[in-house]
Structure 1
Amino acid sequence: MSNYKNVSKRFFLSLCFAYFVYAENAAPDFVNIMLNFEKEMNLIQEAFLKNSQTLVEVRQRRLKKLSNQLKEIPTSFYLDKKTRKFQNLIDLRVMRMDEELEAMGKALKRKDIDFAFQNYLNILNECNSCHILFHR
């Protein structure tokens, strides 16, 4: 029985260590993803104002890459006790944002800049909705 307890204890400590290593590495990634997302959203807005489809396409691809990185981090990682109750809503926001980025990419392939701009506005709405939940 004692041997079982030692093995269990070692396994548990290994899991804890792995989690802390992951958490330490994921925290800077989350902050960088959010900062880069804000930067790219500002740059895509400028691209729309310049009516430059090429720049919009570049920014859309960068935003999609950031969205994929964000989806890799479990929502529960960046929620505290106060915001944990909103986890399902935040998961939904992240999913919708990703869907809008997909739709924007398809609109840009069709050269439908107006529809792509509507996707941009929808993404902005999802971002703002999520941030409102965090500031409650």
Structure 2
Amino acid sequence: MPLDPGASPGFLLWHVTLRWQREITAALAPLGLTHVQFVLLATTWWMNTHGEAPNQLTLAGRAGTDVKMASQVLRKLEDKDLIRREVDRADTRAKRLRTTARGAELAREAIERVEGVDAAFFRSVPDRGALIGMLRTLATPGPG
């Protein structure tokens, strides 16, 4: 007998994710960023501020995106003058990613907006630390 959808963790997660994504999309729209553009820009900025200039493969892995899709999105971010690709001195076939001054400024503003959405969205969760722990567990690939 099928489970009541209201008792299905996957079904509920689907609905929560859709609602959260709609709110993130609305917060980023005035900045001219899609959600995936935000993720790649913010991840590049964060890595840059921590002394890393990732290549596309490293960035996609950290951000959890498909490498080919990341390539297309990074091209758009480069066209908007938000990131630049620099030739890697150790491997001239590879490109290192850095945010431009404009990209860094936009990343910080977008992160503030997204953090604001998160604060409001998860306000009703009584133990946010426990939620983050559960989400980390679910985000970590298991064996097999």
Given the two structures, how large is their TM-score scaled by the length of structure 1?
A: 0.32
- Bigger-Rg structure (1/2): 1
* Structure ranking higher in helix proportion: 1
Given the two structures, how large is their TM-score scaled by the length of structure 2?
A: 0.31
